[in-house]
């Protein structure tokens, strides 16, 4: 079984109330999942863009990318930084969760994925809803805390606590890891492309400590 990297709503025009606050938090955050995505690719870990369709039911993902990277889009700096590559996967979602009324579950089964790394925005809404649904489907779940953002640091911090999650027992894995921290005392053997189980640590040995 494999790991997949999910990038949630990072291709976004940020056309909503309080979007300036989101941009302030999300733009510096976006550099970390961008680097994480590069490292995932080197370890044959697929990247899946799980993106809102913005209510445009006749749209497609490439149209969304074109719209969101246009200079007139408030979210263009983030969308350009995290622009998808030709070998990436994508799923368009109509609601908050990446699993609700989408093909994400089918795609993850097709890719033989049992572990997901969640990144993106907003940590307290779409990332959290997607994490809950991933948990309900028995996926192992990791969320590097500095690869997600909300309108405020407080909202992000709350989303990463057990109080905001549906199960304290499994979600003890959810969110206390950072992309930019060393492994410390945790096992952190480099993963191999053959194993395809992690980026810097085997999932059955340690939390992600990027």
pLDDT digits (tens, 9 = 90+) for 34-76: 999 999 999 999 999 999 877 666 678 888 899 999 999 999 9
Chain centroid to Cα 160, Å, comes to 13
How far apart CA 22 and CA 150 sit, in angstroms, is 6
Residues 6+ apart with CB under 8 A from 176: 145, 160, 207
| CATH superfamily of domain region 2-173 | Isochorismatase-like (3.40.50.850)
Tens-digit pLDDT profile for residues 110-149: 999 999 999 999 999 999 999 999 999 999 999 999 999 9
Determine the Cα–Cα distance for residues 192 and 128; give it in Å rounded to an integer.
Answer: 29
Task: Compute the distance between CA of residue 180 and CA of residue 15 in angstroms, rounded to an integer.
Answer: 30
Q: How much is the pTM?
A: 0.79
């Amino acid at each position: 079984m494999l790991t997949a990297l999910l990038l949630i709503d990072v291709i976004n025009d940020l056309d909503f109330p309080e979007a300036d606050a989101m941009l302030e938090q999300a733009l510096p955050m976006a550099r970390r999942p961008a680097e994480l995505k590069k490292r995932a690719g080197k370890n044959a870990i697929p990247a899946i863009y799980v993106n809102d369709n913005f209510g445009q039911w006749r749209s497609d993902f490439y149209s969304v990318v074109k719209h969101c990277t246009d200079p007139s889009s408030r979210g263009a700096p983030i969308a350009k930084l995290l622009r998808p590559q030709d070998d990436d996967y994508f799923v368009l979602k109509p609601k908050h969760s990446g699993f609700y009324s989408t093909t994400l579950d089918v795609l993850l089964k097709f890719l033989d994925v049992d572990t997901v790394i969640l990144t993106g925005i907003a940590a307290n809404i779409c990332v959290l809803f997607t994490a809950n649904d991933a948990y309900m489907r028995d996926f192992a779940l990791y969320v590097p805390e500095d690869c997600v953002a909300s309108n405020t640091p407080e909202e992000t911090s709350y989303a990463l606590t057990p109080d905001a999650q549906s199960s304290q027992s499994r979600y003890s894995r959810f969110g206390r890891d950072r992309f930019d921290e060393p492994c410390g005392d945790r096992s952190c053997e480099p993963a191999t492309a053959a194993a395809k189980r992690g980026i810097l640590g085997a999932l059955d040995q340690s939390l992600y400590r990027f």
